[in-house]
Amino acid sequence: MTFDVDLFVIGGGSGGVRAARIAAGHGASVMIAEEYRMGGTCVIRGCVPKKLYVYAGRFADDFAEAAGFGWTFAQKPVFHWPTLVAAKEKEISRLSQIYGVNLAKAGVTIVESRAEILDPHTVLLKADGRRIRAKKILVATGGTPVLEPAIPGVEHAISSNELFDLPEFPGRLLVVGAGYIAVEFASLFARLGAKVALVFRGENVLRGFDEDLREGLRVELAHAGIEIMPATLPVNIEKQADGLAVTLSNGETHLFDQILLATGRRPHTKGLGLEQAGVALDHAGAIKVDALSCTNVPSIFAVGDVTNRVNLTPVAIREGHAFADTQFGGKEVVVTHADIPTAVFTTPEIGTVGLTEQDARKAFDIVDVYQASFRPMKGTLSGSPEKTLMKIIVDGLTDQVLGVHILGHEAGEMAQLLGIAVKLRATKADFDATMAVHPTAAEELVTMRTRSARYLRDTLDAGPGSAVSEV
């Protein structure tokens, strides 16, 4: 059987681009198809523009806090939304172009077209009707926003894809959801000057994160002026001359300029031809793969959010690289989806790695908790009420650090380095033996000596009294 290419990659996002480039470096002939813009969700409408907007929002705090350090301004700072949008567009266009240049340098053939799978070795290019025969096919199409709840008037709402490029700044913004995307956009738009309301189905934000961080972030979001309404969802949206009238499940009606539905994302598998090629999908539409990212069809593979394993850009990149090394580099590489550090870019931000206190208590016989909450040094002069929270979760039997969780300035930067320590199975004694860098917030991580709580797994059902100071 003859093939046009060794590898055909569908999707020019983080995972697909890395896989294509590394495979080509191993000597494979590679073709990649992208129907929108090279760079995928992260570069074009996700991580990168979001972080740029977060920086923009934080200048509001900097201006306000500068007075405590002796600064005065002749005029009140004024934010101009179109300038930010244009600057963002210039930067992501630059990054998208770099992706294309690096692929071309590696010898990858780039096709600007939607691609659909016809059979285990054939891909159809929708732009010109060409059929490409590939020895192996990699699907790396990522995820797409879900516009839910499906209520009357939902067509007037937007997803995070559209929020970056609105022609006018949304002075009144309703955010629906409580995950990463919802809290990040609520936080940054509040600081840019919008009046923000955050509604969600549950009782608190960021399900799955450490409970103390969840509660701490909720307090900080309220301090930023965000109206938080738990156990509340929109039930109807009506477009009016002066805005969008939203009726909530609590019976209230409010007017907004924009409604962001950030209730989740789903794998972008619809219409790719996976079913006709015999590729198995799960109940959410994600592609089922094994540890080597191979589907039930031996010639078809998948990496990144389309597999719904761990939906983070660095994970997709690592999976793409591992796939290329395994299939074309002559060495089997398995990606471990455990102890992955991550950040939530609210203000203050969250940085976390490893087990939460709650998960650790379910899995280990004895769990020690070390915790500190303090006012950052910058706040002593600026007057900011923002607090920093740090937690270290430790196996009480082996002294191994199971997880570290931070709410505070530059928490994401700290989480990256803490990820190394947790991955290396560092102990609390290792943390204690590390010299502090003073004065920093991070020094608290190596100076916490007093255990705040110890939990025994066989007393979990005893309620609050299950925590004991000594055993």
Which of 214, 242, 263 lies at the terminal end of a domain, its last residue?
Answer: 263
Scanning the structure block, which residue is given the tokens 């589907």?
295
In a domain, 253, yes or no: yes
Is 442's pLDDT higher than 90? yes
- How do residues 383-414 score in pLDDT, each as one tens digit? 998 999 999 999 999 999 999 999 999 999 99
**Cα 233 to Cα 429: distance, rounded to the nearest angstrom:** 47
Scanning the structure block, which residue is given the tokens 């690592």?
318
Across residues 190-206, what is the average pLDDT?
97
Q: 70-90: b or e for each residue (b if 16 or more CB lie within 10 Å)?
A: eeeeeeeeeeebeebbeebee
- How do residues 114-133 score in pLDDT, each as one tens digit? 999 999 999 999 999 999 99
- How do residues 12-38 score in pLDDT, each as one tens digit? 999 999 999 999 999 999 999 999 999
Is 460's pLDDT higher than 80? no
Q: List, edge to edge, every strand of the sheet that includes 234-240.
A: 234-240, 243-248, 253-256
- How do residues 43-65 score in pLDDT, each as one tens digit? 999 999 999 999 999 999 999 99
| 301, containing H or E segment | strand 300-302
**Cα 211 to Cα 383: distance, rounded to the nearest angstrom:** 27
In a domain, 14, yes or no: yes
- How do residues 304-319 score in pLDDT, each as one tens digit? 999 999 999 999 999 9
Is 251's pLDDT higher than 90? yes
The DSSP call for residue 286 is P
- How do residues 414-431 score in pLDDT, each as one tens digit? 999 999 999 999 999 999
Q: What value does the mean pLDDT of the chain take?
A: 95
pLDDT for position 458: 73
Residues 427 and 413 in one domain: yes
pLDDT for position 459: 62
Is 457's pLDDT higher than 90? no
Residues 115 and 14 in one domain: yes
Domain count of the fold of the chain: 3
Residue 438 known to be catalytic: yes
In a domain, 39, yes or no: yes
In a domain, 334, yes or no: no
Cα 448 from chain centroid (whole Å)? 29
Residues 27 and 176 in one domain: no
In this predicted model, which residue has the larger pLDDT, 40 or 467?
40
Please, are residues 220 and 208 in contact by the beta-carbon 8 Å criterion?
A: no
CATH value at residue 364: 3.30.390.30
Across residues 240-245, what is the average pLDDT?
96
Residues 25 and 106 in one domain: yes
Is 461's pLDDT higher than 50? no
Across residues 95-110, what is the average pLDDT?
96
pLDDT for position 395: 98
pLDDT for position 469: 43
Catalytic site residue from 26, 283, 337, 438: 438
**Percent of the chain's residues with pLDDT above 70:** 97
Residues 109 and 193 in one domain: no
- How do residues 358-390 score in pLDDT, each as one tens digit? 999 999 999 999 999 999 999 999 999 899 999
Across residues 241-250, what is the average pLDDT?
97
Residues 10 and 37 in one domain: yes
In a domain, 104, yes or no: yes
pLDDT for position 464: 43
Q: Which domain holds residue 130?
A: 5-144+266-328
Residues 217 and 312 in one domain: no
**Cα 376 to Cα 103: distance, rounded to the nearest angstrom:** 44
User: What's the pTM?
Assistant: 0.93
β-pair partners for 302: 139
**Cα 254 to Cα 4: distance, rounded to the nearest angstrom:** 57
Residues 10 and 118 in one domain: yes
pLDDT for position 1: 76
- Other CB atoms within 10 Å distance of the CB of residue 213: 24
CATH value at residue 225: 3.50.50.60
